[in-house]
Amino acid sequence: MSAAGQAGSSRDAYRPYTLVAELTYRCPLRCAYCSNPVALADQGEELDGARWAEVFEQAEALGVVQLHLTGGEPLLRPELEALVEHATRLGLYSNLITSAVPLTRERLAGLAARGLCNVQISIQGTSAQVSERIAGRDWLQEKLAAAAWVHELGLPLTLNAVLHRQNIAQLPELVTLAERLGAERLELANTQYLGWALANRAALLPSSEQIELARAQAFAAKQRLTGKMEVLFVLPDYHAGKPRACMDGWARRYLVVTPDGCVLPCHQARSITGLHFERVGERSLAQIWRDSPALDAYRGEAFMKEPCKSCDRRTLDYGGCRCQAFALTGDAAATDPACPLSPDHAMVRDARERVPAAETLVRLRTPPAPSPRAGSGSGSGSGSGT
């Protein structure tokens, strides 16, 4: 029985399978590569629990099966339990993407009882020094304790480490740690240089030698652990030699809803100025998904210019990352400069080949965004560590 295609070969060319629900931008961590907006202070009021519940329902009706409960730190939302319960009722595969810092064993047990499907915990590295340097404070022991609870409670664990020049040498230790914690999946995802990470590129971008070594180590781990632990290794676009099929194409498979309700095709999309992203509640999610001008802007191939327009790979990589094209060239319709065929590729090549020898200071996420709406707790800190 040619059993199964990967879901994604859907008859509906623009069916979203995944809702990324960014429940808050508040976070105890200050990661220097955070995927939340650089302009954290400018965001609107957080959606309340009832509005999120509606978003989940409308997303499920549109075809979503995967739900990422993320942030910032989603545990800072006291409505989280009710939202997990609601997701379970809708048959959504709920994945809690957390720093684990505010987690308690009791709270995790409650989430498990409400049907939470998977827990993803971020770690900044295997040493206190790198954790502190990247996230502003070392929480490694707290994270390891939380990971152990995940395992004890019978929940599947994903361990996520964002790689960069300052922790990439720890890759073998990260693999050992994930095995010891009984993780089902290990994400070794290199930083992509957008937002906060672009501001910190000089301090974070690895050298070609580091990348080659890490790639070989990750490949060996992947082979050895096949069937036991899934190992995902993602190259930085700067070193990949070809553009990444970012989000599987603009507004094609992923729906991101921000803490203040904007409907985006990816976490970073608001960095592209000139696009107006609609908010949930203004129209139904289905209407926004199907005909919002901002979501249509880079869908399919109509927006493409040369060299993308006539390229064989255009249906595979969709021209790469729109946010990266905008951040580096000022034109979101341009070929992603990560592509060697891009007329702007020299920017990426120069950044890659000119990795500074001295350690450059890391610029951490700025402290707290304004306090959220009443009733959603008094979290300190800001943004995302997940």
Partner 1 sequence: MIARDARPRLASKARLRFDRHEGQHMLIYPEKGMALNATAAAVAELCTGERTVDEIVEQLAARHAATPRERVEHDVLAFLEQLALRGLLREGA
The residue within the footprint of partner 1, chosen from 10, 127, 207, 329 (CB under 8 A), is 10
Taking the complex as a whole, how short is the minimal distance between the CB of residue 90 and partner 1, in angstroms?
10
117 binds partner 1 (CB under 8 A): yes
11 binds partner 1 (CB under 8 A): yes
The residue within the footprint of partner 1, chosen from 3, 13, 358, 374 (CB under 8 A), is 3
Q: What is the DSSP code (8-state) at residue 339?
A: S
Could you say which residues in the range 12-41 bind partner 1, by CB under 8 A?
A: 12, 15, 17-18
207 binds partner 1 (CB under 8 A): no
**Closest CB to partner 1 among 165 and 253?**
253
167 binds partner 1 (CB under 8 A): no
The span of 63-71, 215-223, 262-270, 294-302 binding partner 1 (CB under 8 A) equals 63-71
**Closest CB to partner 1 among 103 and 159?**
159
The residue within the footprint of partner 1, chosen from 13, 106, 154, 357 (CB under 8 A), is 154
Residue 266 in contact with residue 247, Cβ under 8 Å? yes
Q: How far lies 384's CA from each of 24, 84, 134, 257, in Å? A: 8, 20, 12, 15
Tell me the two tokens of residue 377: 């707790």
Tell me the two tokens of residue 46: 């957080």
**Closest CB to partner 1 among 160 and 166?**
160
Q: Is 106 exposed, middle or buried (0-12, 13-18, 19+ CB in 10 A)?
A: exposed
Applying CB under 8 A, what is the total number of residues that bind partner 1? 35
The span of 203-211, 220-228, 241-249, 270-278 binding partner 1 (CB under 8 A) equals 220-228
Query: Which residues share a beta bridge with 159?
Result: 121, 186
- Report the DSSP pairing between strands 254-257 and 230-234: unpaired
**Closest CB to partner 1 among 144 and 189?**
189
Could you say which residues in the range 170-189 bind partner 1, by CB under 8 A?
A: 184-185
Taking the complex as a whole, how short is the minimal distance between the CB of residue 91 and partner 1, in angstroms?
5
Helix (H) or strand (E) holding 189: strand 185-190
The residue within the footprint of partner 1, chosen from 81, 110, 132, 156 (CB under 8 A), is 156
Could you say which residues in the range 88-107 bind partner 1, by CB under 8 A?
A: 91, 93, 95
The residue within the footprint of partner 1, chosen from 1, 13, 357, 358 (CB under 8 A), is 1
**Closest CB to partner 1 among 97 and 280?**
97
118 binds partner 1 (CB under 8 A): yes
Residue 44 in contact with residue 347, Cβ under 8 Å? no
CA 326 to chain centre: 19
DSSP H helices, 283-321, are: 285-291, 293-296, 314-317
Please tell me whether residue 193 adopts helix, strand or coil conformation: coil
Query: Which residues share a beta bridge with 233?
Result: 188
Report the C-alpha dihedral over residues 191, 94, 74, 383, rounded to 10 degrees: 20
What are the residues whose beta carbons fall under 8 Å from the beta carbon of 19, sequence distance 6 or more?
55, 56, 59, 64, 66, 67, 68, 92, 255, 256, 257
- Tell me which amino acid residue 91 is: G
63 binds partner 1 (CB under 8 A): yes
**Closest CB to partner 1 among 290 and 345?**
290
The span of 152-160, 310-318, 321-329, 376-384 binding partner 1 (CB under 8 A) equals 152-160
Place of tokens 């350690």: 359
274 binds partner 1 (CB under 8 A): no
What are the residues whose beta carbons fall under 8 Å from the beta carbon of 57, sequence distance 6 or more?
90
**Closest CB to partner 1 among 18 and 35?**
18
**Closest CB to partner 1 among 112 and 351?**
112
Helix (H) or strand (E) holding 343: none
**What are phi and psi for residue 19, nearest 5 degrees?**
-105, 120
Binding mask 226-255 for partner 1 (x = CB under 8 A): xxxxx-------------------------
The footprint of partner 1 (CB under 8 A) covers 1-12, 15, 17-18, 63, 65-66, 91, 93, 95, 117-118, 120, 154-156, 158, 184-185, 226-230
